[in-house]
Structure 1
């Protein structure tokens, strides 16, 4: 399929709460997203606890660009483009490791400091009087347009264009504060590796579903019903598993009262009043340790805020109570990689980590009793949207034309699809902005 990517065609992708199917199935639109949405947004790279020692690194891709997240010799966390300044070879190819005191290209042995500065080149004398000192290669490894570490969470913006970190995220950063402050020490420790899976669907389908409160009642009916039956028949069953699965059977009325909030730039909070995570059992002594660390008022605020999901647009979703991050890494128009990371709040009881790991396995493992229902539907959506017939995806539940002018909006009914429409307003605004000169 060849899709026109001129301004008129792109403008027609969104209309009064409806999204044209080309937004999901067109590879040309996906390439525009990489350039205009993902490159100009602040994307989650990783957590500082993944690189605890100088020289420790991880590798990944951000919007099609290979990057290295590495602990520099001064203790800071740096993000570098994983591409030698000489001829473009990958500097490191392992998913993680320790580079020691420098990074060395395996092709021609050019060496770089762990902040990306050029340290040495092979046959240095051959570059004398060539103008090499003024070349881009002499500047060392390329770096993203911006890098920020916030409460241990590392973000990067590939483009030199775009908002500052705090302007872009605004009050959505409170979700990361809440996660970190669930530690009596104010810090998190990542729990080893993640659950990583690849789904044959467009990334926006998954992101919509994160804010979809209507689907659990039907999509996950078998999971909640089975949990209830097993809990009644086998009293020795893991109580944490039941605590986490049974709420998926909550009815429509539950979600109509949970509260939601949309924020500028596509961010949102689902479950401002309560969520399926609110009634998790108390951990003995935990609240007291938080009160001692943060004070009684702040401890109450931390524990009272247990939203269903907070979306930090376009690719990150947090769950504060089970201490989980979900990260979307779009690979193609019809292919999305999902990462699910669990955290342990430092100084908190070990059961906090156990709860997060249990939730990750029960809900997000590809063959869990919950995830396989979602994945089946996402992949059927992706396959069917190319079929003849209605070309529009409908997100008009409780649509109000006046909301087009709203950024920060609080409302009670979690079933309102405004949380999804808010994502598409941000998406469309970025997509309609042509790229200027790139650094």
Structure 2
């Protein structure tokens, strides 16, 4: 099982530069997909006419993105539009006066903004359910509606269906990598400080990261270069020149059979291609539960942002989101300060534990996408929803606590539900992670052939 086939951004740009087709025709194909049943509930608002105008502008066609379709999560300010973050309570808020920096950079690069994508309300869930506007179904399985993953659910579906070449989203505890893994596409979480967060509605000011999903690693590199306004130096170091770690503690616990199988095959493919893959315990990983026992950054910081709004309109929130925010209402100031200190110490221990490795390998999430019906809105399914949400966030949130960078690339074989391989490192090692991912993607593709 896999998303419908459409060439990635690089292939499409190369064809257009050769004179094969036009940006306007490619945009119309994107619009057709966005309007199709495959993208039902993926978009909360569309801007087809403005995108068409850009795709017909010769100056746009000469730009890096050539007027090709990009989607924007409903978390980001776009001039003249309301940023509601998938909620009802902000639906009447004043429209943004200007584009936030990431959107401005996409505009400057010639993006055709297809529309605003659906999301978990206020980005507070890895599942992707939205009870207000519906939930887009994962396109990887045409027979059983499955969760898309969240919180960047609509962004993932827009890319996986081929409607958008880049899906702008955010990653606070895994909100880019989780839906990328479940939908069978690529999701890159850069080091948080690389891309400005101004003009993005916050979940956790400590952990929030602005980043994107794409259909290939090379497209992920281009998207990152645009969003971070920097050039990624490409390396030709082969897999045989890389030393990669597999973290046993925490990351490999309780894997579903399809995930364990795909992950083991991916490791075998990398070893066959010459990579030195070594298992390490990385014991400090198991300390995370105790560190977060009294509260989390996302919980404390989201409550600080939402407390007045909850007092006025709490009944209009997704009940599951409201519950998670209010859980942290009683976190004490000294507990928050202790959490900051514990994080600094934990980062130092994890960084020391992976010293000498080019990157670390883990399953992105320990499960494949469960059916939507299993976690749909309803008090009778709340326990299952929270169980699934905890599992989805488990591996990816490690990298956010580390202040690190990570990419999820597909590692399943055709005909299987998608599984993501997460390649990660500590802060500011983005270029290494992206270059390792280029090599890993090629090795996995060769193995599948």
| TM beyond 0.5 | no
Greater length-normalized contact order (CA 8 Å, ≥ 6 residues apart): 1
Relative to its length, the structure with more strand (as a share) is: 1
Structure with greater proportional helix content:
2
TM-score by length of 1: 0.28
Q: Rg larger in 1 or in 2? A: 1
Q: TM-score, normalised by structure 2?
A: 0.28
